[in-house]
Amino acid sequence: MELLLGTGFSIIIIIIAITMFLHFVPLGLWISAIAANVNVGIFTLVGMRLRRVVPQKIVLPLIKANKAGLSVSVNQLEAHYLAGGNVDRVVDALIAAHRAQIPLPFERSAAIDLAGRDVLEAVQMSVNPKVIETPVVSAVAKNGIELKIKARVTVRANIDRLVGGAGEPTIIARVGEGIVTTVGSAESHTAVLESPDEISKTVLGKGLDAGTAFEILSIDIADVDVGRNIGAELLTDQAEADKRIAQAKAEERRAMAVAKEQEMKAYTQEMEAKVVEAQSDVPHAIAEAFRSGNLGVMDYYNLKNIQADTDMRDAISKAGGPNTPTPPAVK
């Protein structure tokens, strides 16, 4: 019984030891490299394990590059892997560039990959240009008519400017700006509708691909639609604004007139009060004249007779107004 237990324990230890050995020494991958005529030492694979590098991600792309006739070393691939790059995609891009006879060294391909761009897609775009469709661009001609334009931009990747070059959104923005400028300089919208290719020629001649990762091959106008009459709407809005301003000024003048009228009424009442005040001083003045001897009794009665005569004349004049009926003549 003890012999069986010791034998089983020994078998388990042997299995664990073989597993650990095969983990650190990938014999199958080493045999595949030798069969592909790729010089990779067994201790190099063990060193990759110790550096926490997956040997398959280095050896398999190396075999692929060797079969494609590329000169790539293990150290280059491992350094790119440790830097966080995609080794397999870089090797595929190098193979595609080699087949298309595009000069692309490993250092530039690795730099493009580490910059966050898809280097394989860039190589494919260099061979097969890509068509970028812009959103609908709204532009207004000098006569105030709005045009809605959609364009298709054919671009080819510029590998030399992939690192640090602007992307597709910049191309779309610049093309839209060029379309707005070109349409805005046209005298009328009919001129644009008659020759939309002039937009392509003008925009293409502005060098819009400067500083971008692409080379613009052509700009084609896909669709042109007539929109609103912006000029007429602006004139209508201006007229409405002028009308409201005039109404506000008229209301201001009316309010000022009402205020002036109220002010004159108050001034009239003030003057009437002064007249009444002055009239109340007359009896006092007469009494003072009596006391000082400047006015006698006969003078006072003459004054009263004159006042009575004046009051009678006023009453007669009021009674004989235009609304008073004329008495019939005596026959």
198: exposed, middle or buried (C-beta count within 10 Å: 0-12, 13-18, 19+)? middle
36: which residues sit within 8 A by CB, 6+ positions away?
Answer: 63, 66, 67
For residues 134 and 24, which has the higher predicted lDDT (pLDDT)?
134
Q: How confident is the model at residue 154 (pLDDT cuts 50, 70, 90)?
A: confident
Average pLDDT, the chain: 79
How far from chain centre, in Å, is Cα 44? 56
pLDDT > 70? residue 121:
yes
pLDDT, residue 329, reads: 46
CA atoms of 162 and 54, how far apart (whole Å):
29
pLDDT, residue 5, reads: 59
pLDDT, residue 183, reads: 84
CA nearest neighbour of 165 among 135, 127, 208: 208
Q: How confident is the model at residue 27 (pLDDT cuts 50, 70, 90)?
A: low
Q: Is 28 domain-assigned?
A: yes
Q: Is 250 domain-assigned?
A: no
Query: From residue 250, how far is each of 239, 244, 246, 255, 257 by CA, in Å?
Result: 16, 10, 6, 9, 10
Segment 186-193 mean pLDDT: 78
Q: How many domains does the chain have?
A: 1
pTM over 0.75: no
Concatenate the DSSP letters of all residues of 139-157 into one string: EE-TTSEEEEEEEEEEEEE
CA nearest neighbour of 145 among 41, 230, 34: 230
Segment 14-41 mean pLDDT: 67
The region of weakest confidence among 35-49, 171-185, 272-286, 313-327 is 313-327
Q: Is 100 domain-assigned?
A: yes
pLDDT, residue 331, reads: 40
Q: Is 7 domain-assigned?
A: yes
Q: How confident is the model at residue 330 (pLDDT cuts 50, 70, 90)?
A: very low
pLDDT in tens, 292-315: 877 777 777 777 788 788 888 888
Q: Is 87 domain-assigned?
A: yes
Q: Is 112 domain-assigned?
A: yes
pLDDT, residue 83, reads: 86
Question: 117: left (phi > 0), else alpha (psi -120 to 50), else beta?
Answer: beta
Q: Is 121 domain-assigned?
A: yes
Segment 59-84 mean pLDDT: 84
Residue 61: other Cβ atoms inside 10 A: 23
Domain residue limits at 55: 2-127
The region of weakest confidence among 46-60, 177-191, 232-246, 257-271 is 46-60
Q: Is 72 domain-assigned?
A: yes
pLDDT > 60? residue 321:
no
For residues 92 and 293, which has the higher predicted lDDT (pLDDT)?
92
For residues 195 and 267, which has the higher predicted lDDT (pLDDT)?
267
Q: What is the CA radius of gyration of the chain?
A: 53
